[in-house]
Amino acid sequence: MRKCISLIIVLTLTLALLIPCFAEDNNYKMDENGNLIKVDENFDNIVNVTVNEVEVKFKDAKPFINKQERTVVPVRFIAEALGAKVDWNGETRTVFIDQEQKHIELVIGAMEATVDSEIIKFDTKAEIYFNRTFVPLRFVSEALGAKVGWNGETKTVTVDTKSGEVVQPQTPSEQNIEKIVQNLKDDELKEVVKNVSNIYVAGRDTGEDIMYNSEGKTGLYDTEIMISYCEYYNNTLITVYPTFYKKDSSVLKEMLKVYYPTQFETVYAYVTDTMKNSEYTKGKAKEFIYDKRSFACAKGEMAVSIYIGGEANE
C-alpha cells in the first residue's frame, strides 16, 4: 500500500514538472489563466489589441499576425468590444456581425465578405483555430466604422471608434511626393513612390501599404497592385489582383527593380509567367535567391502574391 501511495506521489510530481515544460513546446502554450492550449506556428506572432485605449482581454485565443502578414482576431471578442453582436451558421460556416444598421457576413475560408449587401474583397481569410473563428481585424473594425493603427514597439493594434475621422488615401496629386516619402518608414517603398506613377498610400495594422491603379483611381475596388511592407517581419509582399493580369505589366518591372536591382528581369519573367498560368500554385511556392534576398511567387484564387525577403545584410 505504501509503495502504491509513493508511486502515485512520484507520478503526480513528475506530471507537475512536465506540464510547464510541455507548455513551452512549439505546439503548446499556457494561457493567462494557466490552462494549457494548443497553438500552431502562427501563434508565435501574438499581438495586443486596444479599443479606445482600453486593452481587450482575450480569454483562450489571442490575436496574431498570420502568414499573409495580417492581424486576425477572435471575431466574437473584437465585435462585442465594438458594440456588435455575432451569430454563426454552422451549416454554411458563415459569421454574421450586426451593429445597429450595419450587417456583415463572412464565410470561413473566403477572401471576401458582404457588408450591407455589398461584396468587399480582402487579401486574407477568416479561419477557425481552437474552435474559435478568427477574422481580419482591420477589415472588421473599419467595416464597423473604427479607425485602426499600429504600434510596432509594443506590438499593439489600436482601434479607435471615437475619432470619427476618415483617412483618405494620399495621392501625388493631393500631396507632394516629398511629403509622402517623408511619412513612409521603409526606404524601398520610398523608392517605389518616387519611380512609379498612379500610386496612392495607406497605413495598416502591421506596417505600410502603397497601392497602384493604372488609371490613377483610388476607389475601394480600384487597387490593381498593393505593396505591403511589414516592419515586424522586415519583409515585403506584393499582391497583384486579377484586374491587372491583362494590362501593361511593365510598371511591375519598375517596382521589382527596386528590390532586385541586377536580376529584376529574371524575377519579372517569373512573375508574368505566373500571372499567365491558368492553374493556381499548389503547395508552398518555390523559393529563390536573387540579389542576396529571397523571392517566391504564387497564384491563388484572388491574386498573385510575390514574397520578398529582407536584405541579406540586415
- Cβ atoms of 274 and 304 within 8 Å: the answer is yes
C-alpha cell at 214: 493604372
Return d(Cα 300, Cα 303) in angstroms, integer: 5
Per-residue pLDDT of the chain (314 residues; tens, 9 = 90+): 544 444 444 434 333 333 333 333 344 455 555 555 555 555 556 788 988 888 888 776 788 887 777 888 888 888 888 888 999 988 899 999 998 878 999 999 888 888 888 888 777 888 888 778 889 888 888 888 888 888 777 888 888 887 655 455 666 655 567 777 777 888 999 999 888 988 887 666 566 788 899 988 876 568 899 898 887 778 899 999 899 998 999 999 999 999 999 999 999 999 999 999 989 888 888 999 999 999 999 998 778 999 998 875 44
CA–chain centroid gap for 168, Å, is: 20
Q: What is the pTM of this model?
A: 0.60
C-alpha cell at 162: 471615437
DSSP line for 112-130: EEEETTEEEE-SS--EEET
C-alpha cell at 296: 517566391
